[in-house]
Amino acid sequence: MGETKKKKKKKKKYRVFWFLAKFQILLLVLVAGALGWYYFGGYAQTVSKLQKEAKEFVRNSSDDTFRSVQTSLVYDVNGTLVSTLKGEKDVYYLEYEDIPAYAVAAMVSIEDKKFYSHNGIDIKAIMRAAKAMIQNGKVTQGGSTITQQLARNIFLNQDVKWERKIEEMFIAVELEKIYSKNKIMEYYLNNIYFGNGYYGIQAASKGYFNTEVENLDLAQITFLCAIPNNPSLYDPVVRMENTIKRQRRILDQMLEDGKINQATCLEAKAQEITLNRPQKTKNDYVETYTYNCAIRALMKLAGFEFQYEFESEPQRAEYQEEYDEMYGQCQNSLFTYGYRIYTSIDLNTQQILQAAVDNGLAEFSEQNEEGIFTLQSAAVCIDNHTGYVRAIVGGRNQDLPGYTLNRAYQSFRQPGSSIKPVLVYTPALERNYTPDSIVQDVKTEEGPSNSSGSYSGDITLRYAVQTSKNTVAWNLLEELTPQAGLSYLKAMNFSKLDSRDEQSAISLGGFTNGVSAVEMASAYAAIENDGKFREPTCIVKITDAQDNVILETANEEKEVYKTNASRMMTDMLTTVIQEGTGRGLALENMPCAGKTGTTNDNKDGWFVGYTSYYTTSVWVGYDMPRELPGLTGASYPGSIWQAFMSQIHQGLEPVEFLPYIDEQKAPLDNDEYLDGMQEPEPDPNVSPEDGLPEQENPPDTVPEGLP
């Protein structure tokens, strides 16, 4: 019995020994393979080069390296300076002894707990990041120490590549050899980006609280320290709730690390944070839209792939996280790399559009608690000959501190009947319908009501568009299918579409999230452009400080609608302005086309229209949707549209829209006829003209029960 047990023990030891031996052999093979891959794959040479470059960066650095910044400049279409983008580190630089101890403690607790013990890199954090990269097939965790973040911000770009990560580590190690921990922390807190153009904690304190950082308490300091991790996601101007959540996490970490006690932590969490941003001379809506377009252009240049459709909410959330991270990185470069940004914005046209909005709503003086007008508007003008945005207004003009919400591209509202031409009618015209096709205006059991409450029976499609018949739009979309209609909006990058939008209610503007004024202007501009869509932007080109071109926007055309369908749609939309729901909004001596839109209970009013020169969309409504008696697409939105378009067309030659082919009367093979007709170049001279017309037009509303 004892002999048997001894034999079993020997066998067990032998098996363990043999397993360990095999494991060691396998490990040696893997190490040998990795070394072979490293050396013979050319990676050793690359890494050696990166290490050498890192040493040169740090060797040539000085105190001035961490204080300087390049200023980026923005120009309008005429070469007029619009704005300067500069992180004012040189003005707001703080020595270490002037930086609040709470700021240092907060950053160590939340960003780099081993800051005072590592040599520039944290091996465990890097291993966690490497494991996550292998699991996800891409870089998803930073693993960066404070020294690495400083290295990246000062010496490198924001590319998420292994080469940049390796060089970042080399630079961090070299920095730790030359500079003390206090100096590195000083450089870090003076260089990190706090969003909205603020570099360094002193600039952030001035920008968000209008005071020196030495005057801030714990709650305010940890609030600021919440921003740099992702300045887009934690932007306190537009995402205050996110900033507060991270601020509380920082306080918890400081409590855990023994930097504050329980009572202090609870007191800071309970304190209400109120921004106090200083007043600044600015071209508010032009600047925010320009910066957004420039950042997206830089993202595209860096290889970021924009996405507008998602299979699930987790997929959408993951994309949004990646988007925010890349957006923040490119925003950082915009303020530090000394770019020259050339735009299509015309400041003269911009002033005319802003005045039209302000004058059109001048009778409404109600303001909210923050002193912002409650009734608002957004308007966008696109140059039809280039496809670029010419002017953009995101709200009524007010003397408010900092940048305000740019409703033209940041707000999404229900479009009412203004969506019908892009979603229903032009697609129907591609499927053998014509302006003279007979359709039925009748009330069905499941269908909507007309705003007028009356029904005309058999009518032409032209008359249905002219009078904005809800029944016809509904029935046509059911024939097309909502999926087919939405495919046109997806092709034009409408960004807030939802799987729940696949229903007939969208034929009348009943969307889950809504649309923006920029999206509506670009969609109508596509109809005017013979069905060819151009991505809306105001960026023409970006150069470096030496005027070397970094990127140019080609504004490529993508065919969304067929040419003849687009021209038929334009022809019907001219009838809307001449005889229909937009009657009275026609421009003097200038052919124009357009469509009204009003949502249920008069909460949103739209007018979108165009000439051969320009397309302009106008929205009017309350930020917090509520009824505005008398609001229709033809009332305030239409008046703003007409006032603006009348002024910018002053002195321009009248240009007729290109005719469509009546395929029932003419041969179908007329491509040469359709493609050969060119429009004349616009006259750049525009002079202002005052005055808003009075309107008496029938409402154009979504029926009761629909959003």
Partners of residue 519 on adjacent β-strands: none
- Domain identity same for 241 and 368: no
Task: Give the pLDDT confidence score for residue 668 in this predicted structure.
Answer: 45
Q: Shortest CA distance to 52 belongs to which of 190, 208, 170?
A: 170
Q: How many CB atoms lie within 10 A of CB 337?
A: 19
Q: Answer yes or no: is pLDDT of 66 > 90.
A: no
Q: How many CB atoms lie within 10 A of CB 674?
A: 16
Which one of 263, 278, 293 terminates a domain? 278
Q: Answer yes or no: is pLDDT of 707 > 50.
A: no
Q: Answer yes or no: is pLDDT of 50 > 90.
A: no
Average pLDDT value for the chain: 86
Q: Shortest CA distance to 96 belongs to which of 220, 200, 187?
A: 187
Q: Say if CB 417 and CB 597 are below 8 A apart.
A: yes
- 438, 461, 516, 662 from 668: Cα distances, Å: 21, 21, 37, 9
Structure tokens at 261: 């006690």
- Domain identity same for 571 and 665: yes
Q: Answer yes or no: is pLDDT of 653 > 50.
A: yes
Task: Give the pLDDT confidence score for residue 91 in this predicted structure.
Answer: 62
Q: Answer yes or no: is pLDDT of 103 > 80.
A: yes
- Domain identity same for 143 and 254: yes
Q: Answer yes or no: is pLDDT of 349 > 70.
A: yes
Task: Give the pLDDT confidence score for residue 431 in this predicted structure.
Answer: 95
Q: Answer yes or no: is pLDDT of 620 > 80.
A: yes
- Domain hosting 427: range is 351-544+554-676
Task: Give the pLDDT confidence score for residue 706 in this predicted structure.
Answer: 35
Q: Answer yes or no: is pLDDT of 683 > 60.
A: no
Band of the pLDDT at 664, cuts 50, 70, 90? low
Taking only the tens place, the pLDDT of each residue in 236-254 is: 998 999 999 999 999 999 9
- Domain identity same for 422 and 565: yes
Taking only the tens place, the pLDDT of each residue in 167-186 is: 888 999 999 999 999 999 99
Which one of 235, 258, 278 terminates a domain? 278
- Domain identity same for 468 and 612: yes
Kindly state the helix (H) or strand (E) to which residue 379 belongs, with its residue range: strand 375-383
- Domain identity same for 604 and 462: yes
CA distance 536 to 532: 12
Taking only the tens place, the pLDDT of each residue in 77-91 is: 999 989 887 655 556
Taking only the tens place, the pLDDT of each residue in 377-426 is: 999 999 999 999 999 999 999 887 777 899 999 999 999 999 999 999 99
CATH number at residue 374: 3.40.710.10
Q: Answer yes or no: is pLDDT of 5 > 70.
A: no
Whether residue 311 is contained in a domain is answered as no
Task: Give the pLDDT confidence score for residue 477 in this predicted structure.
Answer: 97
What percent of the chain is predicted at pLDDT more than 70? 82
Q: Say if CB 535 and CB 645 are below 8 A apart.
A: no
Whether residue 172 is contained in a domain is answered as yes
- Domain identity same for 357 and 450: yes
The average pLDDT across 137-144 equals 56
Ranges 86-90, 228-232, 305-309: which has the least confidence: 86-90
Half-sphere exposure of 64 (CA within 13 A, CB side): 2
Band of the pLDDT at 689, cuts 50, 70, 90? very low
Task: Give the pLDDT confidence score for residue 156 in this predicted structure.
Answer: 78
Whether residue 298 is contained in a domain is answered as no
- Domain identity same for 368 and 251: no
The average pLDDT across 486-495 equals 97
Task: Give the pLDDT confidence score for residue 101 in this predicted structure.
Answer: 96
- Domain identity same for 220 and 359: no
Task: Give the pLDDT confidence score for residue 284 in this predicted structure.
Answer: 86
Which one of 254, 278, 302 terminates a domain? 278
Q: What 3-state DSSP class applies to 707?
A: coil
Taking only the tens place, the pLDDT of each residue in 254-294 is: 999 999 999 999 999 999 999 998 766 567 899 999 999 99
- Domain identity same for 586 and 489: yes
What letter represents residue 447's amino acid? G
Task: Give the pLDDT confidence score for residue 15 in this predicted structure.
Answer: 55
Q: How many CB atoms lie within 10 A of CB 520?
A: 29
Whether residue 312 is contained in a domain is answered as no
Residue indicated by tokens 């470069």: 333
Work out how many domains the chain is built from and give that number: 2
What is the per-residue burial (b if ≥16 Cβ within 10 Å, else e) of 424-452? bbbbbbbeebbbeeebebeeeeebbbbbe
Taking only the tens place, the pLDDT of each residue in 195-207 is: 887 889 998 998 8
Q: How many CB atoms lie within 10 A of CB 493?
A: 17
Q: Answer yes or no: is pLDDT of 12 > 70.
A: no
The average pLDDT across 31-52 equals 60
Question: In 3-state terms, the chain is what percent helix, strand and coil (to 5)?
Answer: 50, 10, 40
Whether residue 491 is contained in a domain is answered as yes
Whether residue 694 is contained in a domain is answered as no
Task: Give the pLDDT confidence score for residue 677 in this predicted structure.
Answer: 41
What percent of the chain is predicted at pLDDT more than 90? 64
Task: Give the pLDDT confidence score for residue 539 in this predicted structure.
Answer: 97
Q: Shortest CA distance to 285 belongs to which of 374, 381, 359, 158?
A: 381
The average pLDDT across 138-149 equals 72
Taking only the tens place, the pLDDT of each residue in 668-677 is: 444 444 444 4
Whether residue 681 is contained in a domain is answered as no
Whether residue 8 is contained in a domain is answered as no
CATH number at residue 234: 1.10.3810.10
Which of 39-43, 230-234, 328-332, 477-481 is the most confident on average?
477-481
- Domain identity same for 216 and 361: no
- 125, 144, 337 from 149: Cα distances, Å: 14, 6, 17
Q: Answer yes or no: is pLDDT of 628 > 70.
A: yes
CA distance 434 to 470: 18
CA distance 392 to 378: 8
Phi, psi of 702 (to 5 degrees): -75, 140
Ranges 189-193, 241-245, 525-529: which has the least confidence: 189-193
Q: What is the 3-state secondary structure (H, E, C) of 310-355?
A: CCCHHHHHHHHHHHHHHHHHHHHHHHHECCEEEECCCHHHHHHHHH
Q: What 3-state DSSP class applies to 552?
A: strand
Taking only the tens place, the pLDDT of each residue in 533-587 is: 999 999 999 998 788 999 999 889 999 999 999 999 999 999 999 999 999 999 9
- Domain identity same for 426 and 573: yes
Q: Shortest CA distance to 255 belongs to which of 76, 353, 109, 134?
A: 109
Q: What is the DSSP letter of 658?
A: P
Task: Give the pLDDT confidence score for residue 197 in this predicted structure.
Answer: 79
Q: How many CB atoms lie within 10 A of CB 578?
A: 16
Task: Give the pLDDT confidence score for residue 131 in this predicted structure.
Answer: 63
